[in-house]
Amino acid sequence: MRASLLALFCSLLLTGCFQEAVKETMEIVFQRDGTATLRVDVEVANEGATPEMTQRLEELRGEMLDGRDAWSHRFERLHPKDESYSWDKVDGKLWRTTHIARVNPDDLGNIFYDSAVQIRYHEERGFAELSIFTGASQRATRDQIRQYNDAADEWSHAVTRYYVALDELYRYTESYPDRAEGMFTVVFAALDDGERPKGDPAAAAAEGATEDRGEGESDAGNGITEEERDLAMKVVKGLEEVVETGGWAGGRDLSADELARLVNDPFPAALAIRFEGEIEEVEGFVPDGDEHGVKVEQKGLIEALAAMRGRWASPDPFHELIDRAAAGENAPPISVAAFLAKPRSSSPPHDWREVRVALDKELKPLGTYRVKWEFRRPPK
């Protein structure tokens, strides 16, 4: 393996998806004076996945510097009270632009004029309420939709193969329970290789799991046979394929994960909402790190599968990795003993179409996002 899946999962959870060629974030802060401060940051990668994409990024840099990009046109429609624009370069190349504008909340909808997003803001009796209504995403071209459908089908095949492999392992260890510890040690050590110190038994298992052995030779560190090691590694390779097919393939400029967001997510940027005052009611939004902030949850392929916890297997090595990565650097290593102490069940997908239907359902955006909070204007 080039890198442990755990390390990759940590990266995916921190960034929200695979490395993006263009990363766009939007923050709306509702002020006590009745105005709203809108901030949009756009970060551009140094290079694209293909020469064509690299050329497109260069063109985008020129558009951003000249004020001809989509966000410049959107901000022109805001008629802000105050506005600022700044940019940062690295090695002479544009890396990031930042638009900031202070506007009347009733004008916020103008920033979404070219999308299927509508905003409504209302103040009454000591409360403020923001409602956002969405339709189907209009951000992808026909060719990108075609690419996404091909990529989503490929990913669904990979997910199906992973759960079939996991089912085979569960059935085998159910018949031979004394073999489970050694086989699952190989699984988790291989997924987490590079994270453990030399001399650790799990590190030796990871090293052994990736070496080629002679016919009939056993994995001496775990007391399992070559056939049992292969059965365990089939799960690892299946999970690798799930992650890899979410990346770049077939000469695409965008990863399958990016295409999933572009085709399904109607918001032109990752959206966070900030305000003073306690939240009274919330719908659709999810918490964003503190009690005075919410955000629209973004889902790519990894997040969609994470939302299907327990659907095809329980417990699931995929979700063990997700939980371990989400817990951060100080999380304890995955415990094979704790994993084996859980009752195991498996019901893999009938075929890849079942996975694709489930994926489409998970990626479908909510139609309404609403948050209501305590609001008091300062005395004049």
The pLDDT score that the predictor gives to residue 161 is 97
The pLDDT score that the predictor gives to residue 29 is 96
Instruction: Using pLDDT thresholds of 50, 70 and 90, give the confidence band for residue 85.
Output: very high
| pLDDT at residue 275 greater than cutoff 90 | yes
| pLDDT at residue 16 greater than cutoff 70 | no
C-alpha–C-alpha distance, residues 276 and 274, integer Å: 7
Give the pTM: 0.82
Which residue in this structure is represented by tokens 């007391």?
223
Which of the pair, 69 or 252, is modelled with greater confidence? Answer: 69
Average pLDDT, the chain: 85
Lowest mean pLDDT segment, chosen from 123-127, 203-207, 284-288: 203-207
The pLDDT score that the predictor gives to residue 79 is 85
DSSP 244: H
User: Taking residues 107-123, what's their average pLDDT?
Assistant: 94
Q: Tokens for 371, please give them.
A: 């948050």
| pLDDT at residue 214 greater than cutoff 50 | no
| pLDDT at residue 210 greater than cutoff 50 | no
Residues 261, 8, 13, 309, Cα dihedral to 10°: 80
C-alpha–C-alpha distance, residues 325 and 329, integer Å: 8
Which helix (H) or strand (E) is 286 found in, with range?
Answer: strand 286-287
Instruction: Using pLDDT thresholds of 50, 70 and 90, give the confidence band for residue 251.
Output: low
The pLDDT score that the predictor gives to residue 190 is 84
E strand segments, 165-216: none
Q: What is the pLDDT of residues 309-323, one digit of tens each?
A: 999 999 999 998 888
User: Taking residues 27-44, what's their average pLDDT?
Assistant: 95
Q: How many residues does the chain have?
A: 380
User: Taking residues 339-359, what's their average pLDDT?
Assistant: 96
Q: Rounded to the nearest 5 degrees, what angle is found at the Cα of 244, between the Cα atoms of 243 and 246?
A: 70
| pLDDT at residue 128 greater than cutoff 80 | yes
User: Taking residues 174-192, what's their average pLDDT?
Assistant: 91
Is residue 339 within 8 Å of residue 184, measured between CB atoms?
A: yes
What residues contact residue 99 under an 8 Å CB cut-off, 6+ apart? Answer: 38, 39, 40, 71, 72, 75, 83, 84, 85
Q: What is the pLDDT of residues 297-346, one digit of tens each?
A: 988 898 899 999 999 999 999 998 888 777 767 777 788 999 999 999 99
| pLDDT at residue 151 greater than cutoff 60 | yes
Q: Tokens for 119, please give them.
A: 């905003």
Lowest mean pLDDT segment, chosen from 43-57, 82-96, 165-179, 200-214: 200-214
Instruction: Using pLDDT thresholds of 50, 70 and 90, give the confidence band for residue 94.
Output: very high
Which helix (H) or strand (E) is 324 found in, with range?
Answer: helix 317-327
β-bridge partners, 36: 30, 103
| pLDDT at residue 233 greater than cutoff 90 | yes
Instruction: Using pLDDT thresholds of 50, 70 and 90, give the confidence band for residue 213.
Output: very low
DSSP 175: H
Give per-residue burial for 261-276: e unless 16+ CB within 10 Å, then b: bbbbbbbbbbbbbbbe
Which of the pair, 6 or 334, is modelled with greater confidence? Answer: 334
